[in-house]
Structure 1
Amino acid sequence: MNMIIGAVVVLASVLGGFAALGGHVELLWQPFEILIIAGSAFGAFIIGNPRRVVKDTGKALMGLAKNSKYSREDYVELLSLQFALFKQAKAKGMMSLERDIDDPFSSELFNNFPGVLRNERGVLFITDYLRLISLGSERAHELEALMNEEMETMQREQSQAPKAMHRVAESLPALGIVAAVLGVIKAMGAINQPPEILGGLIAGALVGTFMGVMLSYGFASPVAVVIKTQREEDLNYFTCIKAGLLAYLNGYAPQICVEYARKVLFTEIRPSFYEVEKATMLAVAVNKKADEQAAA
């Protein structure tokens, strides 16, 4: 929604201001100038990026309609899952989670939290480190260093799409000049035409410069910022998991581990202590019922 509102404001401000100055808005419609700018920008984007980054950028552009990938409810669910895992590990030992860790998508415990299961990479992050802990890697500082390395790699991967879009934004003004120069060349080829025709050709050429600058600073650059912000939210999800796991390794009670994980979340989507407490108590009740059914 923000993208749509912003685009409308940009277009209304630019075109409305131009019309208020007495300009003829229809003169700004120069499809071949737009083709030169947009086509060459897209071609340069393909040349300058591997296929993986091109696909990832396309995926990121398709996800721009969402203001945020994660909601407060998603984080309540993630924290509840961590609480359930830590509580079972404390009560029955880490080996009691072996089946859940090996096949989380078939695990009854994990399936109580379908929102978490939709994030496959997040699930693998949790289970990989729980598996390491169950195999004996219980030194918090060593696992923290490994998590930091993995998240740094993840950050480098996640930053490639916004960087690619930012490079496109930087190239658009120059490509607008290319379109303008070609328009001037065309106009010079008609130098013997009447002033009104020649003036229209020169005006059309100058639209190239205008389009390049507006597309860069009005659209492409803000889009790159939005993609970067969304990718930072992705990393915050993994930071939440990391904080909970490290607190567990340091010997804290499950409720405190969850509180450590909650505290690293962005303020806008961070659930309150009482929201998490209510959800974790519900998770305890669900697990207790499942244990009773298994015993029966």
Structure 2
Amino acid sequence: MSGIPSIRALIREAPTRQAAQALLLCLHDLWAFARDKGDLALEAHVEATLSDSLFLRHQAVCDLPWLLTPLVDFARRLTLGSSNAKQARRLLLAYRETERRALEQILRQSSLVWPLGLCLWLTGLAMLGETGITALAWWGASLAAAGVVAGLWRVRIRAIVDQRLGILDAMIEGCLSYLNGYVPRVCAENTRSVLPPALRPSFFDLDEALGVNSTSIAAIGTIAARSKVLDLLGAKADSGEPAVGTKEEEDLLALWKRMNGEEKT
């Protein structure tokens, strides 16, 4: 692939806040489904990624093949019974390294813009010869403008590269969190915390998105958890304290208080 198409593809497939949030929801739904149905149940979704699958519900992820491909391959390994965290980490990091090298190549291509502009300017000076100071001033102004544009363009390209690698790092964190036994909601939060600041939704944005856009598996779990907390809080009638009977209920209530700012974390 030549340089110009590569740079155009890089800009066209630049990560966005919408894509970052879609990744969080996609990971949450995948791991919620896998925990409920078993890893093997993901097979139908990884074999029909763009036709009828959990992935298709998060179109912003499907629109970024460089992000979707390693995620699908990771899910495919789960269906084969491979849940070794070290092996999975090596697989995902190999994808990242391949992507990093390709992006560095594009950066080198984009850095040729300034030398090319300088060569054209010097050629123009040679052709102008003694045509006068006005023409020389025009070429000087053109060179300055081209330099500013090229500099801003290179900054933009570098920002896209950094964000692209950053969102890959976040995806890797979300996948490894699942293998390490975290629940889907925590996996999504771990992923969110690694996202580049420019793409990272707030905790409350993620919580709202999970409540609105998540699959029925996640929604049912959220409703059940909140209902249980409300039952506990409703038992304050006489004692002024919730009726906490089990360690699970105590932990659930403590988490709810932290989420609502009643306790310091």
Same fold, TM-score > 0.5, yes or no: yes
Aligned residues: 220
Q: C-alpha separation between the residues in 1 aligned to 2:167 and 2:134?
A: 49
The structure richer in helix per residue is 1
Identify the match of residue 99 of structure 1 among 23, 33, 44.
44
8 Å contact 1:166–1:224 — kept in the other structure? yes
**Correspondence for 1:203:** 133
Q: C-alpha separation between the residues in 2 aligned to 1:123 and 1:60?
A: 15
**Correspondence for 1:150:** 95
State how 1:28-177 maps to structure 2 within 5 Å: 51-60=1-10, 63=12, 69-71=15-17, 73-177=18-122
Kindly state the Cα deviation for residue 84 of structure 1 after the two structures are TM-superposed.
1.0
**What percent of counterpart residues are identical?**
22
Q: C-alpha separation between the residues in 1 aligned to 2:32 and 2:150?
A: 47
Q: C-alpha separation between the residues in 1 aligned to 2:24 and 2:34?
A: 15
Deviates more, 1:260-269 or 1:140-149: 140-149
Deviates more, 1:145-154 or 1:94-103: 145-154
Q: Quick one: structure 1 residues 210 and 60, their matched pair in 2 at CA, closer, same or farther if it must change by over 3 Å?
A: farther
Unaligned runs of 5+ in 1: 1-50, 188-200, 291-296
Select the structure of larger CA radius of gyration: 1
TM-score, normalised relative to structure 1: 0.65
1:186-214 superposed Cα distances (whole Å, 9 cap, x missing partner): x2xxxxxxxxxxxxx13255347615641
Identify the match of residue 279 of structure 1 among 209, 212, 215.
209
TM-score, normalised relative to structure 2: 0.72
Letter matched to residue 101 of structure 1: V
Unaligned runs of 5+ in 2: 221-265
Q: Quick one: structure 1 residues 255 and 217, their matched pair in 2 at CA, closer, same or farther if it must change by over 3 Å?
A: same
Deviates more, 1:218-227 or 1:52-61: 52-61
Q: C-alpha separation between the residues in 1 aligned to 2:195 and 2:218?
A: 29
**Correspondence for 1:198:** none
Q: Secondary structure at the match of 1:248?
A: helix
Q: Does residue 253 of the first structure (1) align with residue 199 of the second (2)?
A: no
Kindly state the Cα deviation for residue 101 of structure 1 after the two structures are TM-superposed.
1.1
**Correspondence for 1:29:** none
8 Å contact 2:32–2:218 — kept in the other structure? no
Q: Secondary structure at the match of 1:105?
A: coil
8 Å contact 1:170–1:216 — kept in the other structure? no
Q: Quick one: structure 1 residues 243 and 168, their matched pair in 2 at CA, closer, same or farther if it must change by over 3 Å?
A: same
